[in-house]
Chain A
Amino acid sequence: MRRLVLLVAPPLAFGALLLFGWDLWVRLRDIQPYILPAPSEVGAAFLDEPGRYLGALVESLVTALAGLVLASTVAFGLAVLMAHSRVLERAIYPPALLVKVTPIVAVYPLLLIWFGFGTSPRVAVAALITFFPMLVNAVVGLRQVDPAALDVLRVLNASRAQVFWKLRLPSSLPYVFAALRISVPLSLIGAVVAEFLAGAGGMGQLILIANGEFDTDVLFAAVFVLAAAGIGITAVLSYVEARVLRWMTSAERQQMGA
């Protein structure tokens, strides 16, 4: 309990201090609300119509999750092929890198032409932006097996499938989670950017409309909702990771950057 208080109290206190300073600044300087609304006004904007924010957030999260699942599945599948064949690795890596370095905004008009104006192009953006981290990490993870364990399996004449299920796949999990720590927040960014560009759907549209109407308090509320969502999904991911990888020592986990 004491540890929990010590853990939570400093950031909360500092956050409160920031909010207080913000509020004070707005009042003393008499700043216009369309430039910088007071924290109380941002809170009021949220409490005014919380359903609007949460509905938009859920829409963005669904888009992000769809893109993430799609990209991660395809990327992991390709990684399995690449981990087993240097030729395939050389073949697949350059186009994958091309996907990574191409600015997603430049591709978006194409996505609109191909996928229409529904949710598909937004899912595609979330997918494209999360594809590469999973691919690269999964290839490394699937290759990074304990050579001594691999020798034991080879001496037992284990099939490729047995080596995959019993050694490569579990060995890759820490790397898969390392990829997810990058790609989960990225997927939400991708979804919101796509909604913003399309002017349709989720938090992106909400922000775009609020911006057009100079509803700066709504803008701020949207930003805080997105930030809270980001913290939330990262926490969920950390929890799942700790459960799945509980066989790793904490030192090994630190090495993986968890």
Chain B
Amino acid sequence: MPVTTASPAAAIALHGLAHTYPGADGPLPALAPTDLEVREGEFVSLVGPSGCGKTTLLRAVAGLLEPSGGEVALLGATPRAVQRARQVGLVAQEPGLLPWRTVEQNVRLPLEVTGAEGDVGAMLRQVGIAGFERYRPAELSGGMRQRVALARALVHRPRVLLMDEPFGALDELSREAMRLELLRIWEAERITVLFVTHAVREAVLLSDRVVVMSPRPGRIVHDLRIELPRPRSEAMEDSPAFIEAVRRVRSALRADELAEVRGDEQASAG
């Protein structure tokens, strides 16, 4: 099925997307009906505490989860159609590399599966792991593994990159390095990215927009545009505009926490 771009502006469009998990103690609402649009070439982060439905939202966009309500339009088609058109790349917190394959073979996997053309060597250079082609995942550090996962997600030139806390399991130094690496790659490629994280500074540095979510059930409470110039750099983290943006996201998160605490107090008082 061809992926049309009937509305070229919206790479991702969610209309009333909602999901409820069938829990052991009754249904578990994970995501309240949610609308969201991400333009083609936009970098959007979802931030929020755990349980705010951000992973659920991302998995629905990836077509890995059938939502219980609402619609997902990805590149103007359904997520399944986009999967069939092989236009999505995915990086999760766990790298999910195949341990019996070398780095080079792992990055080649999407090309084998899709039959697409791609330059594995160039991809490895781009994520900074040239020279490690013959290594196996067990011989690499966590940061290196996540670089391989990123190369694998990009090698077939997808139009949408979905990232679910990709640096969540890394130590602070690797995290910093990966963040800048991703920034550099994205600013060169400008593909659409939906990026789930709970690191506020990371979200602000990378994103055009930061979408703040709140739990029980998950919903979007703020949608903040980050007006920092591109290309961005590490040095920008000290600029007043950056600090201001971080403050805005933090206060959006905190306002929501306070509202919830107040709600709890009312509930226990009543």
| Interface status of B37 (Cβ within 8 A of chain A) | no
Q: A146-B94, A149-B96, A152-B96 are in contact. List 12 more A-B contacts (CB 8 A).
A: A147-B94, A148-B96, A151-B96, A152-B153, A153-B113, A155-B64, A155-B90, A156-B114, A157-B86, A166-B98, A247-B138, A249-B138
- Total residues of chain B contacting the partner, CB 8 A: 30
Q: Beyond A156-B83, A247-B99, is A151–B62 a contact (Cβ under 8 Å)? A: yes
A248 close to B (CB within 8 Å) = yes
Could you mark each residue 47-91 of chain B with 1 if its beta carbon is under 8 Å from any beta carbon of chain A, else 0? 000000000000000111000000000000000000110101110
In the complex, the answer to whether A166 meets B136 with C-beta atoms within 8 Å is no
Interface residue? B218 (CB, 8 A): no
Q: Report whether A152 and B112 are in contact in the complex, using a CB–CB cutoff of 8 Å.
A: no
User: When A154-B64, A155-B64 are in contact, do A170 and B83 touch as well, CB less than 8 Å?
Assistant: no
A248 engages B114 (CB within 8 Å): no
In this complex, how many residues of chain A approach chain B with their Cβ under 8 Å: the count is: 20
In B114-141, the 8 Å CB interface with A consists of 114, 136, 138
Chain A residues with CB under 8 Å of chain B are 146-158, 162, 166-167, 170, 247-249
Whether B89 contacts A155 by the Cβ 8 Å rule is yes
Residue of A153, A155, A248 near B88 (CB, 8 A) is A155
Q: Is the CB of B100 within 8 A of A247?
A: yes
Give A156's nearest chain B residue, CB to CB. Answer: B113
Q: Which residue of A lies closest to B114 (CB)?
A: A156
Q: Say yes or no: is B109 at the interface (Cβ < 8 Å to chain A).
A: yes
Q: Residues of A contacting B215 with CB < 8 Å?
A: none
Contact of B84 among A146, A149, A157, A162 (CB under 8 A): A157
Query: Does B92 sit within 8 A of A, measured CB to CB?
Result: yes
> 12 pairs across A/B with beta carbons < 8 Å?
A146-B96, A148-B95, A148-B96, A149-B96, A149-B97, A153-B113, A154-B63, A155-B64, A156-B113, A162-B113, A166-B112, A170-B100
Kindly supply a per-residue 1/0 record for chain B positions 34-47, scoring 1 wherever the CB is within 8 Å of any chain A CB and 0 otherwise: 00000000000000
